[in-house]
Amino acid sequence: MTDWIWAAVAVVLFAVYLSWTAGRLDRLHTRLDTARAALDAQLLRRASVAQELATSSLLDPAASILLYEASHAARQADEEQREVAESELSQALRAVFGEPAQVAQLRAVPGGEEVLRDLTSAVRRVPMARRFHNDAVRAARALRTHRIVRYFRLAGRAPFPMAFEMDDEVPAALAPQGSPA
């Protein structure tokens, strides 16, 4: 008789553990969704500021065209091409804002200061958002590869989380130390 009681206790404890793990996983998925939405928003914001700058005629036409093309491609890219397109936008921004002189010129024209502030904040937030996202991905993946989660299919149909890999290095002249305050 006592055997039955022990068995029942074990089953109940296991059920509690399963439920607790499922709850953890659910929270991680929510965190992942939030992080992904935040990353999306930052990428979109960066592309928008870049495109705005490109069409503002505050820059010379050649730099404008390069930025326009790259930001346009980044905004239009489908999921599979997104990482490449966003990386190319980073490279275009670095090419244009590699020189402190370019930042100084933009700061000097009317309206330049504002755009520059928007752009600086956008390019610095992308790496942050991406790091938070990839951190959430790593945590969710660690739990999802756990045996209990796999055997009991606790993740359901949620897609396996993928890190967002891109070149998000900030242009030298817009980085905190490179910007002439």
Residues of this chain that interact with another protein (CB under 8 A) are: 54-55, 57, 59-66, 68-70, 72, 88, 91-92, 95-96, 98-99, 101-102, 105, 108-109
Residue closer to another protein, measured from CB, 25 or 67:
67
Residue closer to another protein, measured from CB, 21 or 102:
102
Residue closer to another protein, measured from CB, 5 or 108:
108
In 3D, which of 50, 89, 87 has the Cα closest to residue 164? 87
Given phi > 0 = left and psi -120 to 50 = alpha, else beta, which region is 57? Answer: left
Q: Min. distance of Cβ 49 from another protein in angstroms?
A: 17
Residue closer to another protein, measured from CB, 30 or 81:
81
Q: Min. distance of Cβ 97 from another protein in angstroms?
A: 9
Q: Min. distance of Cβ 53 from another protein in angstroms?
A: 12
CA-to-CA distance for 12 and 102, rounded, in angstroms?
67
In 3D, which of 106, 104, 102, 105 has the Cα closest to residue 94? 102
Distances (CA, A) of 118 to 14, 77, 152: 52, 23, 47
Q: Min. distance of Cβ 88 from another protein in angstroms?
A: 4
Q: Min. distance of Cβ 165 from another protein in angstroms?
A: 17
User: Cα dihedral sign for 93, 99, 104, 106?
Assistant: negative
Residue closer to another protein, measured from CB, 112 or 161:
112
Residue closer to another protein, measured from CB, 68 or 164:
68
Given phi > 0 = left and psi -120 to 50 = alpha, else beta, which region is 111? Answer: left
Query: Which DSSP string corresponds to 53-118?
Result: HHTTT-S-HHHHHHHHHHHHHHHH--HHHHHHHHHHHHHHHHHHTSSHHHHHHHHHSTTHHHHHHH
Q: Min. distance of Cβ 32 from another protein in angstroms?
A: 30
